Amino acid sequence: MNIASFLLPKAEVAYLRDDMTLRQGLEKLRRSGFTAIPVIDKEDRYVGVVSVADFLWNILAYNQNLEDITLKSLEHLTVRDFLQNGKVKAACIDTAMENLLEQAKSQNFVPVIDDRSVFIGIVTRSDIIKYFVDGRKNY
């Protein structure tokens, strides 16, 4: 079975654009309630994932002196500056569920792309686990 029937579509997924400012990215990430979310470019192509930890560690790297950290001092940075490029691989829409299991061990979701690398949604780790726990026969 492919992952299409488990897809949470892009319209229902929190994501960031890579050209958003640091402030915009942090605000949207906070509102989402998630610790990591997908990032897409202006052509809607998947480019990576950014997490709370990515923001934190990179903010600290840009400002060695903690007393100097302000959003004003970081306003020149964009979400693109914080990306985990290549760390969280996307799966193609025609990927079999069995192939997502390995990815689900280390991340809460698997980004899904079409054949043009356009981000179309995610499959959550809970859906992947449920597929295997409930037995493949139920799907």
Residue 87 CA, chain-centre distance (Å), reads 10
**What does the mean pLDDT of the chain come to?**
86
- pLDDT reported for residue 104: 85
Q: What is the largest CA-CA distance in the chain?
A: 57
Say whether pLDDT at 102 is over 80. yes
- pLDDT reported for residue 139: 52
Whichever domain contains 32, its CATH number is 3.10.580.10
Cβ contacts of 26 within 8 Å, gap of 6 or more: 55
What is the crossing angle of helices 52-62 and 22-32, to 10°? 150
In which domain, by residue range, is 109 found?
Answer: 3-138
Say whether pLDDT at 129 is over 60. yes
Say whether pLDDT at 125 is over 60. yes
Domain count, the chain: 1
Tens-digit pLDDT profile for residues 32-84: 999 999 999 999 999 999 999 888 887 777 666 666 666 666 677 889 988 86
- pLDDT reported for residue 22: 86
pTM to 2 decimal places: 0.86
Residue 84 identity (one-letter amino acid): Q
Per-residue confidence at 19, pLDDT binned at 50, 70, 90? very high
Residue 80 identity (one-letter amino acid): R
